Structure 1
Amino acid sequence: MTEQAAYEHNGHPVSRAAFYAIACDPARSVAVEACAGAGKTWMLVSRMLRALLDGAAPHEILAITFTKKAAGEMRQRLQEWLETFAQAPLDTLGAELVSRGVSPERALEKREALQNLYRQILASGRPVQIRTFHSWFAALLGTAPLALLQAQGLPANFELLEDDAEAVREVWGPFLQTVATSASLRADYEAVVARHGRSQTHKALAAALAKRVEFDLADAAGVVDASVPPAGALFPDLSGENDPAIALLRRERDALLAAALALGRASAPTFSAKGVALETAVSNEDADGLIDALLTQKGEPRKFNDKLAGIEQVRHVQALCQRALTARRQHEAWQHQQRMARLARCLIAEFAAVKHQHGWVDMNDVERTALVMLADPVLSGWVQERLDARIRHLLVDEFQDTNPLQWQALHAWLAGYAGSGGGATAPSVFIVGDPKQSIYRFRRAEPQVFIAAQAFVRDGL
């Protein structure tokens, strides 16, 4: 068994020094995958330090993390390093720079600059931007034009909700009232509750509300309605009836009666009884009776004597019945999905109404509006001007906790430089995390986002 290398670059083993020469170089865009305790934050703050040494103004560095605690720790570490280095001897500073990937020759040149960096930053009056995703997106929202807020259905004067639990609690009353006053929604709700119970129905609707941004985006793209095809799309010969088994009864009446006759002539009482039951089901167009006569409770063909006269006909209609049962289940799945989609749309609309009534904006609104702003080439430039910060270095800590919408916003912003015709330079990007350690799945974090971001950094930057 071979031991995996401690340090790799694009799948190839490298030395520790070579690894940090790449990871800490602020001129390079890199995605670092590292386990807990591997010094991810040390690398991130080291890149900040080197970017400052290379001439970046503090406000041109944007570091994003996910909690105020993590942002505070990052800010404190940078502050402590700068204070320590301002008083350290030059030999020590050279070693500190070498440990952060600077060549020994260049470290000699940069020692005094590192020593003076703390005073230089204090004199600038502008700190490095170390923020949570939500605070940065909220700052973007604060610069949004009124027309954009209106287009997103957001109030001009809003209160930002860090926690939407209060709004979630408040929405159920208006939702149930709307359902009660709508004949179609009430029918949907009663059908789902009758099948799955009130608790499970509300649990499923709450899950849809928690994923409301993804639901809305998917719904707008037609994905929600297309996600479960109707039975008629898969079984066109059994369409036209609410129950595919009824369609089978009407289409294959003669074949079913022939099978019933073969079973009815059997000497075994249990076989002949099923023949009578099948004939009765055909005569009464009883779909459940048809299925019970030919199939077991598990939906498998009932066992009849292979030497029975007409057994081939019986086997034939059993196969047809199995197919009709599959079509019925498909129809029920489609019907349930359509009902839940209609109820989810209603719940999400009522949730938006509750927020609008109180002047609330939640983090989903913030992220979605940030995506719109950063994806638009004109708005994106305008945002940067309003924030008075042209970001030259972007660093994201614990990237595995990034949700798809947050990454889409960042990706739209960064990918826009590719079409700038050389008029703008993309910031260097540093992302670090461990896809196996995602802890914010409840915030819609998706570890697959890390893989997509790695590919973008490697191929796009």
Structure 2
Amino acid sequence: MSMIPKKPAKTPFTDHQWQAIHDEGKNLLVSASAGSGKTTVLVQRVIEKIKKQTDINQLLVVTYTNAAAREMKHRIQSAIQKEINQCDEQEQKRHLIRQIPMLGHADISTLHSFCLKVIRRYYYLIDFDPVFRLLTDDTEIALMKEDVWEELREELYGNDDELFEELAKAYSSDKNDDGLTTLILSLYEFSRANTDPLKWLSDLTQMYKVNGEDLGESFVFQKLLKSQLLSTLKTMDDLLDDAIAMGNNEEELGKTLKILIDEREHAKELQTLVKDNDLKEAYLCIENFSHARWYVPNKKTTSESVKEMGKEMQVFRKKAKDLYKEMESDIFSFTPDEHLENMSRVSLLVEEMARVTKLFYERYKNHKADKKVLDFNDLEHLTLRILSIETEDGKEPSEAAIHYRSQFSEVMIDEYQDVNQIQEEILKWVTQPESLNGNQFMVGDVKQSIYSFRLADPSLFIEKYEQYEKKEKGERIILAENFRSRPEVLSFTNFIFDQLMDKEVGELTYDKSAKLINGYTAFPESSDFNTELLIFESKVEESENDDDDESVSSSFSVDSKTKGELYMVA
């Protein structure tokens, strides 16, 4: 069990920062919001480790960029020098001084740089030729892939393969087959973010397999469509609820309310059917439903306030109706049986996609071997092969993994939210197994994960975030205090994301633990910093018929008829 030292009265660190600096003996996930001082905490944790007689080369610190690694080394060096100047105990001072020359060779780097070091040292474990050139120019990589693909594509066209021709036709235009090229190269990149790319490609067709004749039990519906449908229907329900609440006290709006109530009940019925996976009944329910023509009383005796209220209700109803029409055209344009037939045909095309991508995978791999070059992703896969050994009972640590596990007393990962599957697996083989005391220290913020296009997998962070909250396999520490922005900015940011971010949209509920807290109290008080919204619309086209439901527009929307920008100033 970790013994966290008592926090001094005058320390600049918060309680949670102090825990993140000193806690040990288990895996730790530090969820650090923007401006919460995570780099300061990480550097201070390194210093505290060194002060306890740990050498800097006993720590692996993984950063996301080379620039971040350089900054980290600089800050650690400055912190060590500061400790040297303040230290009176001679043995401790000698230990601190010894860290300065070691810092230049310390494992404080990007994961790719660490992988390169592993390959240079243990290449013989996988019978790999260590003489290679690392590809760092994106243009050169793109041209190399293009050359390999063009040769393979011409060969596939020449084989007179009907299934390949059908695939090419499905993803090509009348002018070129650039769509097919983009598809295969994208699939290749996605596969390489996994520990076993070829298996990942082979498993793609499993998504389109249906046991029996029940579309509701298929992978596509359960994993991809169900949550999307329920979210859409819940939003429709809420919009109609708000519209009904507006006019509930107006007798003249009785007919209008009847329209809204019927549509809300229809949305609720669909929610129940979707939850029960009953897509056949849901399809029939939609097929037999039609939206009533919108009605707002327009008599001479009708007050302007009632007419205005009707228009406001109409705005909410139109948003709900638009969502319904989009759902209908996207998902319920075919019957469940037709969907099953389509999935069967699509399954063949997906299988062909996987086959072609595997061919490209092998050709490109051989091409790089002939040229004696590697890309960054190759470094990850080679390192994983070096660190783990395939046995009859599964994978076991190699001598390289055993060496690094004994060398590193702690593995620290910055920007953990941007790690992908294969990087996670590499880190697993250089840290202590879960059966022992954890020695992994992860810092990040899933709300700041922006590298999905680089195949980052935020679900890895979220899984630990939820596990460690229950103290399963580790412990979670939340740094919510923001020391960078004024309270007005934080308050408005919390307000916006409280409305937008949930498990479906942002993979994380923006609850109390996720909200930003003002940690800096020295800002001068002033009313000049209240949040201000500036909305600019360059052009709005309005229909002549204001009573037509399709003509309703909101000044806050930006669509094909409205071009504009939204600015926030605080």
Q: In the TM superposition, what whole-angstrom CA distance separates every residue of 1:123-176 from its partner, at most 9, and x where no partner exists?
A: 7687543111110011111223435145xxxx4422222355423322333333
Find the counterpart in structure 1 of residue 29 from structure 2. Answer: 31
How far apart are residue 26 of structure 1 and its match? Answer: 5.8
Deviating runs (4+, > 6 A) in structure 1?
111-114, 123-126
Q: In the TM superposition, what whole-angstrom CA distance separates every residue of 1:203-238 from its partner, at most 9, and x where no partner exists?
A: 2112112223247826426412323228x9649xxx
Paired with 2:441 and 2:90, the residues of 1 have a C-alpha distance of: 26
Matches within 5 A, 1:214-363: 214=193, 217=196, 219-220=198-199, 222-229=202-209, 234=213, 325-363=338-376
1:179 aligned to 2:153?
yes
Find the counterpart in structure 2 of residue 433 from structure 1. Answer: 444
Which of 43, 46, 49 is 1:48 aligned to? 46
CA 1:371–1:48: 2 relative to 1, 3 Å: same
Matches within 5 A, 1:44-193: 44-88=42-86, 118-122=96-100, 128-146=106-124, 148-149=126-127, 155-163=129-137, 165-182=139-156, 184=159, 186-193=161-168
SS of residue in 2 equivalent to 1:416:
coil
CA 1:191–1:80: 2 relative to 1, 3 Å: same
Find the counterpart in structure 1 of residue 417 from structure 2. Answer: 400
Partner AA of 1:180 in structure 2: E
* Preserved contact between residue 392 and residue 426 of structure 1 (Cα < 8 Å): no
Which of 365, 369, 384 is 2:382 aligned to? 369
Q: TM-score, normalised by structure 1?
A: 0.63
* Preserved contact between residue 58 and residue 126 of structure 1 (Cα < 8 Å): no
Q: TM-score, normalised by structure 2?
A: 0.52
Q: Larger deviation: 138-147 or 450-459?
A: 450-459
Q: In the TM superposition, what whole-angstrom CA distance separates every residue of 1:397-431 from its partner, at most 9, and x where no partner exists?
A: 1111111110122124435363xxxxxx7663211
How far apart are residue 381 of structure 1 and its match? Answer: 3.5
Q: Larger deviation: 168-177 or 195-204?
A: 168-177
Paired with 2:426 and 2:388, the residues of 1 have a C-alpha distance of: 7
Q: In the TM superposition, what whole-angstrom CA distance separates every residue of 1:357-401 from its partner, at most 9, and x where no partner exists?
A: 21112222211222233334875443564x797111211111111
Find the counterpart in structure 1 of residue 400 from structure 2. Answer: 382
Find the counterpart in structure 1 of residue 185 from structure 2. Answer: 206
**What residue ranges of structure 1 are gaps of 5+ in the alignment?**
1-14, 91-110, 236-298, 302-320, 419-424
Q: In the TM superposition, what whole-angstrom CA distance separates every residue of 1:98-135 from its partner, at most 9, and x where no partner exists?
A: xxxxxxxxxxxxx8777665424247687543111110
* Preserved contact between residue 194 and residue 421 of structure 2 (Cα < 8 Å): no
CA 1:185–1:370: 2 relative to 1, 3 Å: farther
More helix by share: 1
How far apart are residue 347 of structure 1 and its match? Answer: 1.8
CA 1:190–1:127: 2 relative to 1, 3 Å: closer
Partner AA of 1:84 in structure 2: K
What's the C-alpha RMSD, in Å, of the aligned pairs?
A: 3.6
Paired with 2:429 and 2:160, the residues of 1 have a C-alpha distance of: 38
Find the counterpart in structure 2 of residue 411 from structure 1. Answer: 428
Percent identity between the aligned chains? 20
Which has the greater radius of gyration? 1
SS of residue in 1 equivalent to 2:408:
coil
* Preserved contact between residue 85 and residue 114 of structure 1 (Cα < 8 Å): no
CA 1:384–1:415: 2 relative to 1, 3 Å: closer
Paired with 1:429 and 1:359, the residues of 2 have a C-alpha distance of: 35
SS of residue in 2 equivalent to 1:36:
coil
CA 1:166–1:209: 2 relative to 1, 3 Å: farther
CA 1:228–1:215: 2 relative to 1, 3 Å: farther
Partner AA of 2:191 in structure 1: R
How far apart are residue 70 of structure 1 and its match? Answer: 0.3
Find the counterpart in structure 2 of residue 274 from structure 1. Answer: none
Aligned length: 335
Paired with 1:167 and 1:123, the residues of 2 have a C-alpha distance of: 37
Paired with 2:111 and 2:125, the residues of 1 have a C-alpha distance of: 24
Partner AA of 1:335 in structure 2: L
